[in-house]
A and B are shown apart, each in its own frame.
Chain A
Amino acid sequence: MSVLTHIEINNISKLYRKATTESLSNVSFSINVGQTIGVLGPNGAGKTTLISILCGLIDSSSGYVSYSSQKGNDISGVDLKKIIGFVPQEYAFYHELTPIQNMNYFGSLYDLSMEEIKEKTNSLFLVLGLSHVANEKINTFSGGMKRKVNLAIGLIHSPSVLFLDEPTVGVDVQSKLSIIEFLKEIRNQGTTIIYTSHHLFEAEDFCDELLLISKGEIVAKGPTKKLIEENKSDDLQSLFIKLTVPE
C-alpha cells in the first residue's frame, strides 16, 4: 500500500449544475500527514462540498487535489480509496442489520479477511462502547449509538486519512465527549483527520489547525490561537462571527 505524505488542494472551484454562484471558489491549501484540520463555516459555506471533493465523491469544476506518496507519486483510484475513510453526516449504513453485519459488509469491500474484520471490529466496538449491542438491530439504537456505528464503519480499514462530516451532530453531550475522545486517540495514532463541524469549541479542542470558509472562500487558516491573535478577536466564536457571513 502507498504511504501518504501530503495532500495538496490547488485552486479548486465548484459550480453546481443550475447554480448561479460557485459553492467553492479558488480554494487552495495543503495538509500534512498526521494533521487534524477543522473545516468551519456557516451553513451553505461550502464545507460539505469541500470534503466531498477531497474524498472523491464529486469532481471539482476546476483545480485539482493531489495525494502524494513517500515516493513522490500521486495516489489515486482504488489505491486512494483504500487509504481514505469517510464518515458522512447521514447514518450511511444498513439500519435493518446489526453493527457486526454492517462491519462485515463494509470491511469486505476493502478486501479485508474475516479475521481482520473481526479483530478490527472488536477493538473499535470496545473503545466506542458498542460491544454490548454488537448483535442487535441498529434501528433500535439511539442517535449517539448510530453515530458511533457510522464512525466505526469509516475506520474498519484503518485509513490514513479520515474525513468526518459533522460527526457529533445531533448527539447528547456524553456521546459527543466519548466520540471526541475516541477521535483524539485516532489522531494520536497518526491518522490525518479532516473534520467539519458547527461546534466551535469542540473543533478548537480537537484540531491542530482550523480552516474557516465563508461563501465558498477560505477566510482564515492556521492554528486557533494564531488566528485569534492575528485577527484581534477575544475567542474563536468572535473570530468566526467577524470573518464569516451567514447564509
Chain B
Amino acid sequence: MKLMASIKKELLLLFSDKVGLSIMFLMPLLLVFIITIIQDSAYKLINENKVSLIIANQDKGDEGFKLIQLLTESGLFEMQEQNHLSSPELKDYLLDENKLTALYIPESFSDKLKEKATQISGTLTSELGLSEINNNNLDIKLPNLHFYHDPVLQENYSSSIANVIGSFLNLIENELMMKSIYAEVGIEKSPARFMEKIIGNKIVIDQMPAKNDDHMINPNSTQHNVPAWTIFAMFFMVVSLGSNIVKERINGSFLRLKTMPTNYIHLLSAKMIVYILVAVLQFALIFSIGIIVFPLINLPKLILPTAFFAFIAMMLISSLAAVSYAITIGALSKTQEQSNGIGAISVIIFAALGGIWVPTFVMPEYLKVISNFSPMHWCLEGFYILFLKGGSWSQLFPVIGFLVIFIAVCQIITYTKLKLEKLI
C-alpha cells in the first residue's frame, strides 16, 4: 500500500516534469536519428558513394591515361577531367567547386616511368646475362603526382584514397617493367594474356567480423548508435531524478517522512521502480524506432540479438546502474542546479570515456584504462557482446559483475550521505 502510494506519487511527479520527460525521451530520439544518419552517410561515403576526383592529366604519353582508366574502372570515383589546369590551378578549382579530391599528373609522367622501367629491366637482363652489360645506373628522378584533398576530409580517409592511387601506379609500373624486359630480350610485343594476368590477378581480401553467431548482422551505424544513445539517455535521467531527490531533501519532505510510519526503503524503492520503468520505456521507444522507422528512411534496420533473456538482463542492469547513479548525484548535491550541472557533465564525460561517441579501441592506452571506470563503457560493452558479437551469458559475466559493483557503491554512498544528514 505504502509502496504503491509512493510509486503513484513518483509517477505524478514524473508526468508533471515536462522538461525532464523531454530530456529523457525526445533528446535521445533526436540524437539517435542525427548521429545515425551522419554516421551512415559517412559509412556510405566510404563504402557505397563515389568520391569526387578531379583530374588534370598533363602527361604527354599513355600512362597518365592508363592511370585514369584504372581509377575509372575501380568504380570508387566520380571522375571529372580538367586536363588544362596546372597544379596550383587544380588546387584552386578543387576549393571553388567544393569537391573532395583532385589528382595532377605531370607532363613527364609516362616518359620518366618508361625511362625507369627501361633502366631497371636493362640492369636485370644484363645481370642475368640476357643482354649486354648495362652501365646506366644513374638514379632517375620520377615526377611527383599531386594529390589534393578537401581539408575537412579525415586524414585516414585521404590516405586511403592516396593508397588506392598508389596501388594503381604499381600496376602501371609492373606492366611497363614487364614490357621493357620483353623488349630487352628481343620480344617486341609482350603476350596480352600475360599482361592481363599481371594487371588483373589481384588477391581478394575477404573482410569478416569476428562474431559468435553467424546469423548476426554486420556492424553498422544502427547497431552501434541505437544501444549507445539509449544508454546515454538512461544515464541522462540524472537531470530529472537527481533534482527530484534534491528537491525532497531541501524542501523538508524527507524530514517529514522521517516522522511518519514509513521508511527509506519504500521511498527509494518507489523512485527506482518508476525510473527503471522509464529506462525500459526508453529502450522500447528507441529500439522500436531502430526497427520500424529507420528502414523507412533508408537507415539500416536494428536487428535484435537472439539471446533474448540475456538482452533483458542487460537492459535491466543498465537501467538499475543509471537509476542508482542518478540517486547518488541527487543525494550528494546541495542544490538542484548543482545536481543538474554535475549530473549532466558527468554523464557526458562518462559517455565520452565509455565509447558512446567514439569507440574505445581508438583511444590512447591510458584513456582505455580510464574508460573502465565509466559505467556506460560496461553497459555498451554488454550490448556490443549481444548485438555485434552474438555473445552469450558467460561473456556477459564480467560486464554484469562490474555493473553490480557500481550499483552497490552508488547505493552505499547514497545511504551513507542521507544517514549523515539525518534524513533517514
Question: Do A and B bind?
Answer: yes
Q: Which residues of A contact B4 (CB under 8 A)?
A: 108
Assess whether A81 is in contact with B255, with CB atoms less than 8 Å apart. Answer: no
Q: Is there a chain A Cβ closer than 8 Å to B136's Cβ? A: no
Contact segment of B11-19, B68-76, B398-406: B11-19
User: Is B16 in contact with A96, judged by CB distance below 8 angstroms?
Assistant: yes
Partner of A110, one of B253, B258, B261: B261
Chain B: which residue is nearest A91 at the CB level? Answer: B251
**Known interface pairs A105-B9, A108-B2; A57-B258 also in contact (CB < 8 Å):** yes
By DSSP majority rule, is chain A's interface helix, strand, loop, or mixed? loop
Stretch at the interface among A31-39, A82-90, A120-128, A206-214: A82-90
A119 sits at the interface (CB 8 A): no
Beyond A90-B252, A105-B8, A111-B2, whether A97 also contacts B259 by CB under 8 A is no
A107 to chain B, nearest CB (A): 8
CA separation between A144 and B125, bound complex, in Å?
107
Task: Please report whether the interface of chain B is mostly helix, strand, loop or mixed according to DSSP.
Answer: helix
Asked if A111 and B251 sit within 8 Å, CB to CB, the answer is no
A191 vs chain B, min Cβ distance (A): 16
Q: Say whether B255 contacts A101, CB under 8 Å.
A: no
User: Interface digits, B13-40 against A, CB 8 Å rule (1 contact, 0 not)?
Assistant: 1001100000000000000000000000
A109 and B2 contact, Cβ closer than 8 Å, known pairs A56-B258, A90-B252, A92-B255: yes
> Within the assembled complex, what's the spacing in Å between the Cα atoms of A105 and B1?
10
- Verify B260–A81 contact, CB threshold 8 A: yes
Q: Are A108 and B12 in contact (CB under 8 A)?
A: no
Q: Which residues of B, 253-271, contact A by the 8 Å Cβ criterion?
A: 253, 255-262
| A90 / chain B contacts, CB cutoff of 8 Å | 251-252, 255
- Knowing A109-B262, A111-B261, the reply to whether A88 touches B13 (Cβ < 8 A) is no
Q: Is residue A104 within 8 Å, beta carbon to beta carbon, of the partner chain?
A: yes
Return B278 CB to nearest CB of chain A, in Å: 16
Nearest A residue (CB) for B2: A109
B5 touches A108 (CB 8 A): yes
Smallest CB–CB gap between B1 and chain A, Å? Answer: 6
Closest to B257 in A: A109
Asked if A64 lies at the interface with its beta carbon under 8 angstroms from chain B, I say no
Q: Hey, what's the 0/1 contact readout for B263-301 against A, CB within 8 Å counting as 1?
A: 000000000000000000000000000000000000000
CB distance from A123 to the nearest CB of B (A): 20
CA distance A60 to B280 in the complex (A): 45
Say whether A58 faces chain B, with CB atoms less than 8 Å apart: yes
The 4 closest A-B pairs by CB, nearest first: A92-B252, A108-B5, A90-B252, A96-B16
Beyond A95-B251, A101-B9, A153-B256, 12 additional contacts (C-beta under 8 Å) are A57-B258, A57-B259, A81-B259, A82-B261, A84-B259, A88-B255, A90-B251, A90-B252, A97-B12, A97-B16, A101-B12, A109-B260
Identify the A interface with B (CB < 8 A).
55-58, 78, 81-82, 84-86, 88-97, 101, 104-106, 108-111, 137, 153, 163
A-B contact pairs, 16 of them (CB 8 A): A55-B259, A57-B259, A57-B422, A58-B422, A86-B259, A90-B251, A90-B252, A91-B252, A92-B252, A94-B13, A96-B12, A101-B9, A104-B8, A109-B2, A111-B2, A137-B16
